Structure 1
Amino acid sequence: MFTVNTMKSADPKLTANGPLMRLLAAQLVSNIGDWLYVLALLTMVGLKWNATPWEIAAVSLCMAIPMLLGGPLAGLAADRMNRKALMIGSDLIRVVIVGALIFANSLFQVYLLLLMKGAMDVVFSPAKSGKLKELVSSSQMDSAVSISSAIEQITKIIGPAAGGLLVAAFGVSACYLIDAGTFLVSAAILAFLPREQRERAAAGEHADRKSAASFRSELSAGLRLIASMPIVLSGVIMLVSALFVLNIADSQVVTLFRIIPGISGDLLGWCVGASGLGTLIAALAAGKLGASRRPLVFMGGGAALMGLVFAVAAVATAYGTPGTLIYITLFSAFLLAGAGAGFVFVPFSAMLQKRTPEAYTGRVFGTANSLTSAAVILGPVAGGALVTASGPVVAFIVSGLSAILLGLLVLGLRGYIERRDSAVAAAAQDSSSAAHSLL
C-alpha cells in the first residue's frame, strides 16, 4: 500500500532548518540566472538573428519537450539515486551547456543546446522536490512550498529587469556567462546539503523489487499513485486544464495589446511584472492560510478569478478608451490573474508534497511535470488557432469563460471528491491495519 510517513523530528522554525535554507538559496540563485538566460536568448534569436515566429516558437518547444518526454524517467531516477548528486550533476552540466550558447552561431545549435539543457532541467526538478520532502515535515510543508513559489515569482519580477539592463550594458554573452555562474554557485551551495535523509521505501516497493517489476511498471508508479487518491487526481486534472487555458491567453498577450491605439511599449513589461507580483502575493497568502488542507477550494476559486480578469482585460482592450485608465485596468487585471494562478499552483504543490510518500516523490512530480508540460505546449497552439480564426479579443473571452466554468465545476464537485478521497484513505488504512495484525 502507498502510505505517507509523517514521522519527522520536532518542527523548528523553517529559518532554523539549515539544509532547507541552503536548498532554497540554491533555487534563488539558479532562478535569477534562468530569467537572465531566457531574456538573452530571446534577444539573440528574435532581435539579432531576426528569427521568424515559427522559429521563435521552436525555442519554446525545445525548452518544454524534454519535460514532456522525460518527466517520468527523471522521477524514477530521483527515487532510485542520490538526489543531492543528481542536482549537483545537473547544475554542473548546465554550466557547460549555457556557456556554450556564447559560441552558438546558428538556430540548429541553439535548439540542440536547449534540448540538452531541458534534459538537465528535467533531472533537477523531481530531485529537488524529493529533497524538499526529506528536509521538511508535513506540518510545515505549506510554508515551505509557499516560500519556494515566492522565490520563483520574485525572480520572475527581478530577473527580466536585471537581464534587460545587462543586455543593454554588456551584451547577450554577459547574461550567458552570469547564468552559467549561477549554476556553479547553486552546485556549490547544494554540496553542503546532507548526504541522504530519505525514509525507507514502503514494504510494497520492496516487494516490487523482489518480484523484478518491469521497468515500465516502475515508470508508471507515479501515475498509479496519483490515480489512487481522488483529490490528487482531481487536482492534477484541474491543474493541467488551468494551464492549458492560461497558455491560450498568455501566448497571445502581444496580439491583444497590439489592437490598443498608441500603446506604450512599456505596458507589456509592466503587466508581466504585475502578474508575477500577484502570484507572489498569492503564494505567501496560501502558505499562511494552509491552502493544502482545502486545495480544491483555493484551486477552484483561483481559476474562476483568473478567468474573470481575462475576460475583463479583453473587453477593456476592445472597448476602452486609450489612456491612463485602460493601462491601470490592464495592470490590475494581470495582478489579479497572477493571484488567481498562484492560488491554483501553490496549494496543488503543497498538497502533492504532503500526500506523496517520500519513496515515490520523484516519480509523482516527474509525472505531474510531464502532464503540465503537455498543457504548456498545446495551449499556445490552441491560442494561435483561436486568434487566427476569431481574433485576440474572442480568444481571451473564450479562455476566460473556460477558466470560470472550470473553477465553478471544481467548487461544485469538491464535496463529492473530498468524501470519495476520505473513503479511499479509510479503506487503505483498514487494509494496512489488517495486514499488520496478521504479522
Structure 2
Amino acid sequence: MGEKLGQNKNFITLMTAQAISSLGDWLSIVAIITLVGLKWEATPLQMSLIILSLALPMALLGPVSGAVADRMERKTLMIVSDVVRGLLILLLTLAANVWMVYACLFTIGIFSSVFIPAKNGKLKELVKDEHIKGAMSLTSMIDSSTKVLGPLVSGILVTAIGTYNVFYIDSATFFLSAVLILFLPKTMNEGMTRKSNGKQGPSFKEEMMEGLSFIRQSSYLMYGLFLLGVSLLILQLSDSQIIILLRQLTNVSPDLFGYAVTCSGLGMLFTGIFLSKKTNYNAFLYMCLGVLGIGLGFGMMALLTNYDLAHSIIWVPGLALVAGLSAGLVFIPFQAATQEKTPVHMTGRVFGVINSTTTTATIIGPLAGGALATVIGIIPSFLVTSSLLIILFFISILFKNRVEQEDPHVTESQPGTQGAASR
C-alpha cells in the first residue's frame, strides 16, 4: 500500500500555505473596495479598474509565467511571489490616490500569475498520479472555502479594526505562506537539469509555445479548455449581473445577494468534497453535466424573477447552490484530468495557458454581460445565457466520444520526475 494523500506531509504543507494566502487575497479585496469605494468615493469606472488591474496581468502573462515556472525552481518562485506580494500589500497602506492602488494591484497580479502555475507544478511533483484527482478536489475546496469565509471575515475585521489593519493582516498571511513553503523539498526541473549539465535547451519563446502545442496534441485538453473557457465566458455574462436581477423582485431582502454568493461558494465546496472521495470518474461527462446545471439554474432564476415568485429568500440561495455545485463539476474535473495528463515538467506552461484563458473570460464576460443587459434587459439576458449553456451541453455530448479518443503519447507521465525531490 502506498502513502495516502492525507499522509503526504509535503502536500499538506502546500495546501496549508494555499489556504492561508487565499484567505488573505479575499481579505485585501474587500478592504481595497472599502477604502476606494467608500472613503475615497471612487467613480464606477475607477471601481471597475480595480479588478481589471489585478486580473489583466494574469490574462496577458499566463503563457509567459507558465514557462518561467517550468524553467526555474518552483519552490523559490512561490516564496519570492509570496514575499513580494506581502510587501506590496504593505505598500497599499501608504497609497495616497487610486493610481497607486492600480500600480500595486497590477504588480500583485504579475506575481500571482507566476505563483499559480508554480503551485500547480509543485503539486504535481509532490503527489502521485493516482492521488491527483483527490488533490485537485482538495485544492478547489480550499478556494471555495476562502471565497465563502474571506469576505465575511474581512467585513467583520474592517468594521472592528479598520481597513489599514486588515492590510497588515493580509500581508502577514503572505509571509506566513512563504515560511511554510520553505519546508517543501526542492526539485530539479528539466530546465535546471539542462543548465547544470551545460546543455543548450530550447529558447524561452520555444518553451512558451510548447504549452500551447501540448494542449493541441490532446483532444481532451483542447476541447476541455474550449468548453471551460466558453462556459465561463457565458456564465460571466449573467453572474456579474445577479444583483441587478435581484432588484427586479418585490420586497427583496437586502441580504439576499450575500446569501446567494455564500450558497454558490458552498456548492463548489460540496462538489469538491464529493469528488475528493472519488478517484475514477468520467471528467468530461461531469463537465458537460456541470454546464447543463448552470444553464438550468440561471434559467430558473430568470423565470422565477420574471413572475416575482414569493419567498425569494429560499429559492434564490437554493438556485445559487445548484449553480455552485454545477460550476464545481466544470472546473474541478478538468483541472484534475489536466494534472493527470500533463508531465510534471510541462505543468507550468499548460496551467499558464489555462489560467490565461479563464482570466480572459472573467474579464470579457462581465463587460459583455453589462452591455447585453443594457440592450435587451436583465431577464432576457439571463435567459440568453441559460439557452447558450444548454446548447453548449448538447454540442459537447455530441462530441463526447471523439474527445475521449485520446492519443496514448499525450498522457504519458514523464519518468523520473515525481518523487525526485531533495532538500
Smaller-chain TM-score bracket: over 0.9
1:248-287 matches, within 5 Å, as: 248-287=237-276
**From 26, 32, 46, the counterpart of 1:41:** 32
**From 307, 317, 322, the counterpart of 1:319:** 307
1:62-211 matches, within 5 Å, as: 62-196=53-187
The answer to whether structure 1 residue 401 and structure 2 residue 387 are counterparts is: yes
* Counterpart for residue 229 of structure 2: 240
Instruction: Give the C-alpha shift of residue 213 in structure 1.
Output: 3.4
Which residue type is aligned with residue 317 of structure 1?
A: T
**From 199, 202, 205, the counterpart of 1:213:** 202
- Quick one: distance in 1 between partners of 2:41 and 2:246? 21
Cα shift readout 1:251-294 (whole Å, capped 9, x = no counterpart): 11121112122321111111100000000111121222336x42
Q: TM-score, normalised by structure 1?
A: 0.90
- Quick one: distance in 2 between partners of 1:184 and 1:214? 33
Is 1:134–1:197's contact at 8 Å kept on the other side of the alignment?
Answer: no
Instruction: Give the C-alpha shift of residue 380 in structure 1.
Output: 0.8
Which residue type is aligned with residue 414 of structure 1?
A: K
Question: Do the aligned partners of residues 155 and 350 (structure 1) sit closer, same or farther apart at CA in structure 2, a change above 3 Å counting?
Answer: same
- Quick one: distance in 1 between partners of 2:377 and 2:222? 34
Is 1:146–1:346's contact at 8 Å kept on the other side of the alignment?
Answer: yes
**From 7, 15, 24, the counterpart of 1:24:** 15
- Quick one: distance in 2 between partners of 1:352 and 1:212? 25
Instruction: Give the C-alpha shift of residue 11 in structure 1.
Output: 2.9
* Counterpart for residue 343 of structure 2: 357
More divergent stretch after superposition (350-359 vs 38-47): 38-47
Structure 2 residue matching 1:103: 3-state secondary structure: coil
Which residue type is aligned with residue 60 of structure 2?
A: L
Question: Do the aligned partners of residues 228 and 320 (structure 1) sit closer, same or farther apart at CA in structure 2, a change above 3 Å counting?
Answer: same
Question: Do the aligned partners of residues 154 and 427 (structure 1) sit closer, same or farther apart at CA in structure 2, a change above 3 Å counting?
Answer: closer
* Counterpart for residue 308 of structure 1: 296
More divergent stretch after superposition (71-80 vs 258-267): 258-267
Structure 1 residue matching 2:248: 3-state secondary structure: coil
* Counterpart for residue 325 of structure 2: 339
* Counterpart for residue 432 of structure 1: none
Question: Do the aligned partners of residues 85 and 428 (structure 1) sit closer, same or farther apart at CA in structure 2, a change above 3 Å counting?
Answer: closer
Which residue type is aligned with residue 220 of structure 2?
A: I
**From 283, 296, 306, the counterpart of 2:284:** 296
Question: Do the aligned partners of residues 167 and 427 (structure 1) sit closer, same or farther apart at CA in structure 2, a change above 3 Å counting?
Answer: closer
- Quick one: distance in 1 between partners of 2:409 and 2:83? 45
Structure 1 segments unaligned to the other structure (5+ residues): 1-9, 430-439
Is 2:252–2:312's contact at 8 Å kept on the other side of the alignment?
Answer: no
* Counterpart for residue 359 of structure 2: 373
* Counterpart for residue 420 of structure 2: none
Which residue type is aligned with residue 38 of structure 1?
A: I
Structure 1 residue matching 2:93: 3-state secondary structure: helix
Structure 2 segments unaligned to the other structure (5+ residues): 413-423
Which residue type is aligned with residue 242 of structure 1?
A: S
- Quick one: distance in 1 between partners of 2:94 and 2:8? 41
Is 1:281–1:339's contact at 8 Å kept on the other side of the alignment?
Answer: yes
Cα shift readout 1:370-416 (whole Å, capped 9, x = no counterpart): 11111111101110110110111111111111111112221221012
Is 2:130–2:279's contact at 8 Å kept on the other side of the alignment?
Answer: no
Question: Do the aligned partners of residues 368 and 428 (structure 1) sit closer, same or farther apart at CA in structure 2, a change above 3 Å counting?
Answer: closer
Which residue type is aligned with residue 27 of structure 1?
A: Q
More divergent stretch after superposition (69-78 vs 282-291): 282-291
**From 375, 379, 385, the counterpart of 1:389:** 375
Instruction: Give the C-alpha shift of residue 428 in structure 1.
Output: 9.2
- Quick one: distance in 2 between partners of 1:108 and 1:121? 20
Is 1:301–1:411's contact at 8 Å kept on the other side of the alignment?
Answer: no
Structure 2 residue matching 1:104: 3-state secondary structure: coil
Which residue type is aligned with residue 335 of structure 2?
A: S
Which residue type is aligned with residue 159 of structure 1?
A: G
- Quick one: distance in 1 between partners of 2:35 and 2:410? 57
Which residue type is aligned with residue 373 of structure 1?
A: T
Instruction: Give the C-alpha shift of residue 161 in structure 1.
Output: 0.8
Which residue type is aligned with residue 333 of structure 1?
A: L
Is 1:104–1:110's contact at 8 Å kept on the other side of the alignment?
Answer: yes
Instruction: Give the C-alpha shift of residue 145 in structure 1.
Output: 0.5
When the two chains are superposed, the root-mean-square deviation of aligned CA atoms in Å is 2.1
Which residue type is aligned with residue 220 of structure 1?
A: M
Report sequence identity in percent.
Answer: 38
Q: TM-score, normalised by structure 2?
A: 0.93
More divergent stretch after superposition (268-277 vs 278-287): 278-287
Structure 1 residue matching 2:249: 3-state secondary structure: coil
* Counterpart for residue 3 of structure 1: none
- Quick one: distance in 2 between partners of 1:155 and 1:190? 19
**From 194, 202, 211, the counterpart of 1:222:** 211
* Counterpart for residue 408 of structure 2: 425
Question: Do the aligned partners of residues 395 and 162 (structure 1) sit closer, same or farther apart at CA in structure 2, a change above 3 Å counting?
Answer: same
Which residue type is aligned with residue 343 of structure 2?
A: P
